[in-house]
Amino acid sequence: MNDENGSRDPTHDLSGAERPATERESPPGDHLNPFEAVNYQFDRAARRIDLPDYLQVALKTPYREVMVEIPIRAREGFRTYHGYRVQHENARGPMKGGLRYHPSVDLDEVRALASLMTWKTAVVDIPFGGAKGGIACDPTQLSRGELERLTRAFVQRIHSFIGPTTDIPAPDVNTNEQTMAWILDEYSKFHGFTPAVVTGKPLELGGSAGRASATGRGVALLAERAAADIGIDIRGATVAIQGFGNVGSWCAHFLAAMGARVVAVSDVRGAVFRGDGLDIEYLRREAGPDRSVVEVGAGETIRNADLLALDVDILIPAALGNVLTGRNVGDVRARMIVEGANAPITPAADLELEERGIPVIPDILANAGGVTVSYFEWVQNLQQFRWPADRVDDELRRTLLGAYETLRASVVEHRISYRLAAYILAIRRVADAIALRGQD
């Protein structure tokens, strides 16, 4: 609902996601580390449902944290890397989460991402808990042989803590199906051939049809569905996507196929813009790890910061975390945001978006397509039976849209944000599992 100047009334937005004025909160600022930021969102939801203090402590405390040193032979001699695997919660099933290779990886980031996985799997109601892992390295500076040695050495140090009924890694930032193949092979040296130890594997080693595209497909499906609820027809809707890696490129592909007009995409070297819509399939063919989107002549070159401020119907941050903060959130002009990345919006920015009536489909739902199809892959491995691609896609759609409808009902009934509704649902499901198992 707009006032005479065209701005949104935050207590009557079409999303139904805003709180009464008497419940406004003070923003926490952007000083929180990643783990503190996730726990800030957790605490908001826990207070809302009067979660007992002991459960609040238990559900914010990781089950296990593994930190290892990984010396490998490199071109310049031996180098030592720091590796992490944080296992957050296993009340609802084996722990599940990706493995990322990035210079910024540290314990707080991995803790935060492991916690997000607990809530993500609970929101879409698949029988997993949360985990995450990473190695602090710059994979662009490592040869294929060095990456393989690094991966295998990491598995040698953590193989006792992972497994099909314990903790199941998957690809994440700068890792892929080849990385998972190396993990599978190295783990199998200790435990016998065990394809269910990882997901996101090559098809030839027990991977699932549809896994590579699953996260991007899920983001697109949820963008289409949520847009309809605030009066945006995806056909002709304008979309800006920050990030053109696996998630962003697949998301752009599916949205373009739906009839959306993807006007801007970006990577680490910059962004491209074309007002009448980019040729997404051309970009997918020509851009990649060795060639930026700004180098292929697809449109006008702009800054990543400019992409975030474009006047579009849907903004999709699909790169790394903390791209929208208290400092730049005021520049956002999108009508809706769908989080393709993990934690791309700081709590301070998130509260301001709530105040402005801009609905945000949170990461723990929006990018859950990957872990959902990972679950399907794990099931196929355990059954030793492969599903056809159309079954995978149908089950993915059913799972994600079912979760969305559950959250939407809560958003409308209680006039809360999608993020708060998602955390409340997830926390209740995990707390119920703990109670039923008799864990104190």
Which residues does the annotation mark as catalytic? 132
Q: What does the alpha-carbon distance between residue 246 and residue 229 come to, in Å, rounded to a whole number?
A: 27
Q: What does the alpha-carbon distance between residue 256 and residue 259 come to, in Å, rounded to a whole number?
A: 5
DSSP result, 358-397? --EE-HHHHTTHHHHHHHHHHHHHHHT-PPPHHHHHHHHH
Helix (H) or strand (E) run with residue 111 in it: helix 107-123
Q: What does the alpha-carbon distance between residue 139 and residue 92 come to, in Å, rounded to a whole number?
A: 34
How far, rounded to the nearest angstrom, does the alpha carbon of residue 21 sit from its chain's CA centroid? 31
Q: What does the alpha-carbon distance between residue 378 and residue 90 come to, in Å, rounded to a whole number?
A: 16
> The tokens of 8 are what?
């949104």
Q: What does the alpha-carbon distance between residue 34 and residue 320 come to, in Å, rounded to a whole number?
A: 12
Q: What does the alpha-carbon distance between residue 363 and residue 325 come to, in Å, rounded to a whole number?
A: 16
Q: What does the alpha-carbon distance between residue 133 and residue 129 come to, in Å, rounded to a whole number?
A: 14
For 184, 185, 208, 296, 304, the CA distances from 188, given in Å and listed in that order, are: 6, 5, 19, 42, 42
Closest CA to 431 of 105, 134, 42: 42
Instruction: Please provide residue 58's backbone torsions phi and psi, each rounded to the nearest 5 degrees.
Output: -60, -40
